[in-house]
Every structure is written in structure tokens, then in C-alpha cells.
Amino acid sequence: MKISKTYDWRGEDFRYDATCEHCGYMITNKEGKDDFHLYNQVIPSMVCPNCNRSSSLQPTDEPLPPIAPEHDPNITI
């Protein structure tokens, strides 16, 4: 899963929509906290309820890049 949209920012807390990169299924209105753990552990390991796959289960030779919402000016990578 990948974050496709963020909204309702209140400090570090926000709500987001996530989209499965395999089948396109969208999960909406999830709660999250703006931190490294959410972007690099929780979101990639979310299992899609439609196709039962996750980003972290993909075979890869290199680590996944950090994932963060693009519109938040407070996030620096």
C-alpha cells in the first residue's frame, strides 16, 4: 500500500487514503501519525484486503525508499 492522499492535519496526527500498487484498491480515512515508523514500517506492510499483497512482500535487492506525504512542508528527508 502507498499513501495517495493526506488530510485533516492536526499537529503530527492526520488522516490518509492508501492505494494498493498491485490491484488499485483504495482504503480511505485511516488515522496516522507523522513519523518514520508509519511511513517506513506500517504503510509498506499493510496487506490489501482485496488481493492480500503488501509492498514489503515484494522481492527486492535494495531497501524501500522512505515514504512521506509530498505536500507537508515540515517533512524533510
Task: Determine which helix (DSSP H) or strand (DSSP E) holds 4, and give its type and residue range.
Answer: strand 2-10
Rounded to whole angstroms, the Cα distance separating 54 from 33 reads 20
pLDDT (tens, 9 = 90+) of the chain, 77 residues, equals: 899 999 999 988 999 999 998 899 999 999 999 998 998 889 988 999 998 888 876 554 555 566 655 666 665 55
- Burial grade of 43 (CB within 10 A; 0-12, 13-18, 19 or more): buried
Q: Can you give 6-24 as a three-state secondary structure string?
A: EEEEECCEEEEEEECCCCC
Threshold 0.75, pTM exceeds? no
